[in-house]
Amino acid sequence: MRIVFANSAWVNAAERLILRGGTWQSVRLRVRYGLFFHPAAGPVLVDTGYTPEALSGDRSGRMLRLYDALLRPDLNAAEQVLPVLRRFGLSPDDIRAVIVTHFHADHISGLSLFRKARFIASDAAWARVKARTPRQNLRHGVFTELFPPDFEARLEGLSAKRRVETREDVPGGADLFGDGSVIAVDLPGHADGQFGLLFNGLDRPLLYAVDAQWLLTALTQDRTPGFPATLIAEDAAAIEPTSAMLRRFLRSGGQVMLCHDPAPTSYDLAADDPEAG
């Protein structure tokens, strides 16, 4: 199964905020999203990255504009989701499934582009979004104006999926396509309902751990940031156990990828990828 990741935007953060013992120097972070080609489900997106919808247009509320002004994402035109799909000969309507790992703006801002897609996401987290006022949602980092109006009608919740155990070092998860190829593994801590994706059938198993940490170094060197990073976490107490699980997976030979880590990986789209030309 071919799996690629693209970088929708760059954002800057002081290293100290995202790495224990880090400096005040600014780190240029990626904002990845993924695309894989499932034999039965076809091309599947993993989040949408940052798209212009997050920054402009009718959907942009006052708080959303403020948030973007603070984070100042620098959109990467060449690897925005639409041009990347074009590289693979795909139009947005060819995408029949978007996996939504959690509901932060840099993961959902392009959902409205995919009119034919179902959305595979945490239905439990969605129920909580609906129960909150817009102001309460903002405190959880959720900008409800970014959801397509028919999001719920197209939602395929994790709770309806079969739960499977695959490995000793990773807790069980939801089998997204019923064939064991992609397992949604809960990653509590960063955001309500966040889950990662375990691609277990590869030569080297891959766990896309989204925003469980910002930097891989935080896992490999045991340097998960404390305050104030914990302040913006959904469940600060869960961050360390989730990070410990990812370290076990790394130690047993697995590969962990994060959304924001700046170092290129073998899954990142190369600018001149001949296969995608």
Residue with tokens 């006022």: 133
Cα 199 to Cα 201: distance, rounded to the nearest angstrom: 6
Residue 179 Cβ vs Zn ion, minimum distance, rounded to whole Å: 28
Nearest-angstrom CA–CA distance, 171 and 209: 13
CB of 191 to Zn ion, least distance (A): 5
- Which residue matches tokens 């949408």? 48
Q: What is the dihedral of CA 142, 143, 144, 148, to 10 degrees?
A: -110
Which residue lies nearer to Zn ion by CB, 79 or 211?
211
Q: Which is nearer to Zn ion, 158 or 210 (CB)?
A: 210
Name the token pair of 13.
């953060």
Q: Which residues of 19-54 are buried (b: 16+ CB within 10 A; e: fewer)?
A: beebeeeebebbbbbbbbebeebebbbbbbbbbebb
Return d(Cα 124, Cα 157) in angstroms, integer.
8
- The residues, any chain, with a CB within 8 Å of residue 55's CB and separated by 6 or more, are 65, 68, 73, 75
Least separation in angstroms between residue 100's CB and Zn ion is: 11
Q: CB nearer to Zn ion: give 98 or 191.
A: 191
Cβ-based nearer residue to Zn ion, 94 or 235 = 235
214 touches 18 (CB < 8 A)? yes
Q: Which is nearer to Zn ion, 107 or 167 (CB)?
A: 107
How crowded is residue 109: how many other Cβ atoms within 10 Å of its Cβ? 30
- Min separation Cβ 25 and Zn ion, Å: 22
Rounded to a whole number of angstroms, the minimum distance from the CB of residue 276 to Zn ion is: 27
Residue (41 or 207) nearer to Zn ion, CB: 207
Site for Zn ion, rule CB under 5 A: 104, 191, 211
Q: How far is the CB of 200 from Zn ion (least distance, A)?
A: 24
